Amino acid sequence: MATHRKLLLRHGIAYPTTPAASNHATLALAVMHRDSPRRWEDEVKLRGLPAPPRLADYWAQFEAEMNALPPQAAQVVLSAERFGAMLSTRDRISALHARLAPHFSGIRVVAYLRRQDAHAASAYSQMLRSGIIGEPSLVQPKSRYGSFYDYAELLDNWSAVFDAACIVPRIFERASLRQGDVLQDFLHICGVADMKLPRQDNAVQNPSLSMQGQALLLSIGRLLQAQTGRESLGGDKVWEEVASLVSETCVGRGWRPCRDEAREFLALYSASNEAVRRRWFPERPELFDLNDSDLPEAPVRLDMEFDISLFGAVLLQAARRSLEADSAARLSKARLAAAQNQPEKARALLQKAVVLDAGNIEARLALARDMADAGESALATAHAEAVLAARPGNVAAKRILRELSSKI
């Protein structure tokens, strides 16, 4: 949603920036800690979210954005998994409702429900990435997040505040989602099922972290804990960089409970799930698909013995990032040199930017334009074609090629 703000707005949907640049987790935190400004700021920092303003300033900014929504915005989307995890009690949900109700003629609450054991297993990677270091396990019902999995109580609480007619629960299973995709499913609910996303954005945006990746993060996390003396690494910039590198490099299936563990865990919520099925999904024989044949038969532990190639892959990714950052810096310097009427310096910087990162599309386009203007048709064509190979629909590259073709 954050990636496609402009495209969404053309379809009448505003995705606000005040609650957070990407997902709106800080809005949930601000409601949760509405009476504890200091606690709110600490939690935002702990979770590695953008640096917070004072709570009063945050609400002032939120109100200002809600009051100044663009005229073409027929709908506003606020989205964060933490709405369910943190705003589970009626007083917190009521506090959110009080903030939203003055601005909208109607509100729908869309809740995607995932089988509890599958969600808990997936959440382990997210916990590691956020700096909560520990062995994988299914959460306990009495723990901080255990009540989140009581979907009957969760939906009852939201229904009591927003009215049951406003609640739109969905099952997070491919077979239950429109086109097997949660984004397409949600866009359909918003009434913009015909909205076409750019082709390169149809890939999975949040790939799973493999077990080896989880084990590597756990090992590095423990090392960083020992060095810093911190139990939680949330907000630590070194950890954020490491977690990002490992996540990009180690894609695959992560830890999952064995069948007996999963069945025992699901049994804790069987009555709750049946209540949800009866109320919201009477057409389904079970709330979730209970087939667990793909789960391991015996309990699984993370293997802390790493293949040297895993470290090599992470180091290579770190090197690529460094080169990409250096290339981006050269591009910025080239633009400055061009603005200062230093064309030769600008050309050299652009060439270096492309050498450092062949995938720097903006640098290639600038170089192609510069060469086209200088009459260096062959080189300009090569760079423009390289851009189109990476981004087939790039308008600027097509324009350069048309201009070059017309000159021949």
User: Which residue do the tokens 């062995």 mark?
Assistant: 135
Report yes or no: 85 and 119 within 8 Å, Cβ to Cβ. Answer: no
Going through 114-226 in order, the beta strands assigned E by DSSP cover 167-171
Sorted by sequence, the CB contacts under 8 Å of residue 334 that are 6+ apart come out as 345, 346, 347, 349, 350, 353, 363, 366
Query: Does the pLDDT at position 359 exceed 80?
Result: yes
Q: What tokens appear for 45 in the block?
A: 């920092």
- Say what the pLDDT of residue 42 is: 78
What does the pLDDT look like over 159-215, one tens digit per residue? 999 999 999 999 999 999 998 999 899 999 999 887 877 754 444 556 789 999 999
Q: How many residues are given for the chain?
A: 408
Going through 139-218 in order, the beta strands assigned E by DSSP cover 167-171
- Say what the pLDDT of residue 176 is: 93
Give start and end residues of each alpha helix (H) in 294-342.
308-339
Widest pairwise Cα distance in the chain = 75
Query: Does the pLDDT at position 318 exceed 70?
Result: yes
CA distance 58 to 104: 20
Average confidence (pLDDT) over 317-330: 91
Report yes or no: 48 and 22 within 8 Å, Cβ to Cβ. Answer: no
Strand partners of residue 75: 13
- Say what the pLDDT of residue 202 is: 44
Report yes or no: 14 and 73 within 8 Å, Cβ to Cβ. Answer: yes
- Say what the pLDDT of residue 199 is: 56
- Say what the pLDDT of residue 144 is: 59
User: What is the pairing mode between strands 75-76 and 13-14?
Assistant: parallel
Mean pLDDT of the chain, nearest integer: 89
In CATH terms, the fold of domain 318-407 is 1.25.40
Query: Does the pLDDT at position 146 exceed 80?
Result: no
In the chain, % of residues over pLDDT 70: 93
CB atoms within 10 A of CB 312: 11
- H or E segment to which residue 112 belongs: strand 109-113
Average confidence (pLDDT) over 147-153: 89
Q: What is the pTM of this model?
A: 0.78
CA distance 143 to 359: 46
Average confidence (pLDDT) over 48-55: 69
User: Which residue do the tokens 């310097």 mark?
Assistant: 333
Report yes or no: 334 and 346 within 8 Å, Cβ to Cβ. Answer: yes
CA distance 29 to 301: 33
CA distance 220 to 191: 45
CA distance 135 to 221: 11
Going through 166-316 in order, the beta strands assigned E by DSSP cover 167-171
- What is the chain's Cα-based Rg? 25
Average confidence (pLDDT) over 39-53: 70
Is the pLDDT higher at 127 or at 43? 127
Report yes or no: 107 and 76 within 8 Å, Cβ to Cβ. Answer: no
- Say what the pLDDT of residue 327 is: 94
Average confidence (pLDDT) over 302-308: 81
In the chain, % of residues over pLDDT 90: 61
Least confident of 4-13, 83-92, 302-311: 302-311
Report yes or no: 185 and 170 within 8 Å, Cβ to Cβ. Answer: yes
- Say what the pLDDT of residue 243 is: 92
3-state percent breakdown (helix, strand, coil) of the chain, nearest 5: 60, 5, 35
Of 198, 302, 202, 298, the residue nearest 250 (C-alpha): 302
CA distance 235 to 223: 16
CA distance 25 to 81: 7
Is the pLDDT higher at 21 or at 70? 70
Residue 49's pLDDT band (boundaries 50, 70, 90)?
low
Query: Does the pLDDT at position 288 exceed 90?
Result: yes
- H or E segment to which residue 110 belongs: strand 109-113
Q: What tokens appear for 206 in the block?
A: 């949040």
Least confident of 250-254, 255-259, 300-304: 300-304
Q: What 3-state DSSP class applies to 295?
A: coil
* First-to-final CA distance of the chain: 44
